[in-house]
Amino acid sequence: MIGHLVPSPDSRSFGPTRAGRKDKAHRTYRLVGVTALLALLAAVGVGLVPAPSRAEEGPSKVVILGFDGADAQMVRDWMDAGELPNLDRLRKQGTFSDLRPTNPPQTPVSWSTFATGLDPGSTEIFDFLKRDVKTYAPDFAMTKPSEAPFAFGPKNPLYLSAGLAAVAFLILLILGALFRRARIGLLLGLVAGVGAFLWARPFVAENVPEHRPIAINQRQGTPFWQILGDRGINSTVIRVPQTFPPDPNPGGRLLSGLGVPDIRGTFGTYSFYTSEVVAQGDTDTEMGGKVVLLDVERGDPEVKTILYGPFNKLFPEPPEIFLPLTISMDWDRHAVQLHLPDQVVDLEQGQWSDFVQLEFPIRKLIKVHGIARFYLIELDREIKLYMSPINIDPVDPIVPITSPKGFAQDIHDQIGNWKTLGWALDTWSLNENVLPEEVFAEDFDFTVGKFEQILDSFFDNPENRLYCQVFYFTDRAGHMFYRFLDPTHPAYDPALAPKWGDFILQSYKRMDAIVGHVMERLPEDGVLLVCSDHGFANWKRSFNMNTWLVRNGFMTLKGQDQNKLMTLDDLFVEGQFWPNVDWERTRVYALGLGALYVNLLGREKYGIVTPGAEYDQLCRDVAEKMEAYIDPETGEHPIFKVYRRDEMYNKFDPDIIPDMRAANNLGYRVSWQTSLGGVPREMFEENKDKWSGDHCSLDPSLVHGILFCNRPLRVSAPGIEDLFPTILSMFGVPVPNDADGKALPFAN
């Protein structure tokens, strides 16, 4: 390997003498020797350039179990009642404390702070929705759609066709040479190359996109697993919210959580096929479901319809991709056959299908793959068929959902298909009375069971000193079944209460079982943290915040259509928002779950409020009047407090972060229509929905989360921002200077 550096004795070049060549050879050997020595020293970590540091301090394994929405008071009460023995054991041997959420106490907001140690002003994840200052339209705050060139971009037809032509030319040229017909090979190669180019160019232009859609995670800050990975501490991170697209995890693995869309790019669009006339008609529901009316009478053998697929973001036409669906009906057996391209699915009434693989051809070369489950609700007097949101296929994902990419295949090899959608439990179909509680509960158990299998499959990897997994089922149970905890709730149903009144308790007992399972597998020196991002509260009345702004002179309308129903699907198909707001006379507007924006001159497109004294006085006026306002029906204050952004956050971008936040009191929440910028006619609405518990727009002091540790920690009113520095400190890794929290040290 070294000899080639020394000139050959037979060299005929007019170079150095033999002695000179010998000296040069010795110098060369010395140079190679020194180089090898330096490489060896660097390899063992004592070279001139220090190797990346590795943190060897701390326990052999740190495990973090997150349970979205687990409420501190509920946990305390049920531990005291003996319902949560494993959590009670943690409390007695280590630490239990309330955990203060972010302001606002929302899932993507709090977990972003958990991951980065930065408050929402710095992470810039401050709500599910944000607004465009140029159009005032709502958009998702979690991710930003963008695009990247596909291959050579606009030059794909030229370059790819030229490449194919070159291959055709070379093949025939080589064949001609092999058969000693070089001239013929050259001629045929030229003909084939030109023909290939002329054929391929229009084919590529039609079937190969110039750009591919991508998503950008809008969360700022560096998550703790990336900092640890850079220090050689590997981890497995499962379904932490706000990790889509998947965060880098050096040396480790990550499965994205809340933020992963379905194949339509939405939070979860289900489909409901029915022959029964429904109030919505053949339209989208408020939460984005697709209602498909079937022209069927009892006894009809079949009906043809469509299956809604992805939006076409690769080519101008068509805007959406559909699959043909034929439903064959056996009315006597209460069974159907679903005929999809290349497959048939048999389904009986009251039965779930397995995951069905779906392939949507965008063009001849481009296909999108998804997975979904079907449930036949009824085939009796009517037909009622439910299809879950179409999840991204983990085996052939249209966009990455894991880091590294192959981790999705590893999970599939262990547990088969699972719901890759970030919002995996279909609360929308239960809330909109498409699925009854029994069917929701079956899917609930199936879905959570898959995530428990992921824990079992990947927890014990000896290469990972950190394991972190977030479960969401405690939050979804709280949203959908809180109505059974309060007989005065507008959605309380005394007939259903005996069966479903303890559903939230049962979900907390499942949390307790998961914790106990991990405690049994934890190494002797291991550390276990159990936490949640916020708590829960009753939601009995909806407050239409924009309506309040109109009636108090802060917002002005120019039309009469105050009852326009806006849906989540409008966000994905560019629906018209704010159709009747007079921006030239509007000073404040509400969007999202409590965010208040000033129509500021120089910032908003039609801004009228002058920065400085006018702005400050306006904020004081809004806060004073909102906090003093009393609900005439109940005599209660719907607003607990109105915060200025500099009260909530240490630093922020004034063009992005809302000017104020109106935090609701117990029993109240911002209405769905307010969150989308709607201005309903009435100020309040009784919440008769099954989505009956909430936290999103409440004051953080009213919905504390939980913090457990199997070791005593010195805690005093900890906040979720304190977990980031605590986790780093456990491994002896320095905490970044910009972290907003403080490490919670061990008590002994």
pLDDT-based confidence at 164, cuts 50/70/90?
Answer: very high
Is residue 281 in some structural domain?
Answer: no
Question: DSSP secondary structure string, 300-312?
Answer: --EEEEEEEEEE-
Average pLDDT over residues 38-64: 53
How many residues are listed for the chain in this entry? 748
Is residue 660 in some structural domain?
Answer: yes
Nearest-angstrom CA–CA distance, 309 and 389: 10
- 543 with 669, same domain: the answer is yes
Residue 606 tokens read as 């039609």
Cβ–Cβ under 8 Å, residues 722 and 743: yes
Cβ–Cβ under 8 Å, residues 193 and 169: yes
Q: Which residue has the tokens 């809604």?
A: 308
Is residue 307 in some structural domain?
Answer: no
Is residue 452 in some structural domain?
Answer: no
Is residue 11 in some structural domain?
Answer: yes
- 565 with 696, same domain: the answer is yes
Last residue of a domain, one of 679, 701, 723: 701
Number of domains in the chain: 3
- 15 with 158, same domain: the answer is no
pLDDT digits (tens, 9 = 90+) for 176-206: 888 878 888 889 889 998 998 999 999 999 9
Is residue 601 in some structural domain?
Answer: yes
Q: Smallest Cα–Cα separation from 595: which of 558, 631, 649?
A: 649
Average pLDDT over residues 678-704: 96
Rounded to 10 deg, the angle between the 407-415 and 437-458 helix axes is 110
Q: List the domain range (segments joined by +) for residue 611.
A: 539-701
Nearest-angstrom CA–CA distance, 239 and 227: 18
Q: How many helices (H) and strands (E) does the chain have?
A: 19, 31
Query: Sheet holding 335-340: strands in order across?
Result: 302-311, 320-330, 335-340, 343-348
Average pLDDT over residues 448-464: 95
Percent of the chain with pLDDT over 90: 75
pLDDT attached to residue 474? 98
- 173 with 27, same domain: the answer is no
Rg (CA), the chain: 31
Is residue 493 in some structural domain?
Answer: no
Q: Which residue has the tokens 């079992």?
A: 456
pLDDT digits (tens, 9 = 90+) for 213-265: 889 999 999 999 999 999 999 999 999 999 999 989 999 999 999 999 999 99
pLDDT-based confidence at 697, cuts 50/70/90?
Answer: very high
pLDDT-based confidence at 7, cuts 50/70/90?
Answer: very low
pLDDT digits (tens, 9 = 90+) for 92-105: 999 999 999 999 99
Last residue of a domain, one of 186, 208, 230: 208
Question: DSSP secondary structure string, 241-291?
Answer: SS--SPPP-TTSEEE--TT---TTSSS---EEEESS--TT-SSB-TTS-EE
* Residue 552 or 278, more confident: 552
pLDDT-based confidence at 739, cuts 50/70/90?
Answer: very high
pLDDT attached to residue 19? 38
Res. 620: pLDDT tops 50? yes
Nearest-angstrom CA–CA distance, 590 and 502: 36
Cβ–Cβ under 8 Å, residues 300 and 329: yes
What's the mean per-residue pLDDT of the chain? Answer: 89
- 157 with 26, same domain: the answer is no
- 543 with 690, same domain: the answer is yes
- 25 with 161, same domain: the answer is no
pLDDT attached to residue 172? 86
Cis before 404? omega within 30: yes
pLDDT digits (tens, 9 = 90+) for 552-577: 999 999 864 555 555 655 555 555 56
pLDDT digits (tens, 9 = 90+) for 57-94: 689 999 999 999 999 999 999 999 999 999 999 999 99
Is residue 24 in some structural domain?
Answer: yes
Secondary structure class of 552 (helix, strand, coil): coil
pLDDT digits (tens, 9 = 90+) for 354-409: 999 999 999 888 899 999 999 999 999 999 999 999 999 999 999 999 999 999 99
Cα–Cα distances (Å) from 722 to 243, 582, 716, in that order, read 19, 44, 11
- 570 with 693, same domain: the answer is yes
pLDDT attached to residue 139? 84
Instruction: Give the dihedral sign, CA 46/51/53/59.
Output: negative
pLDDT-based confidence at 33, cuts 50/70/90?
Answer: very low
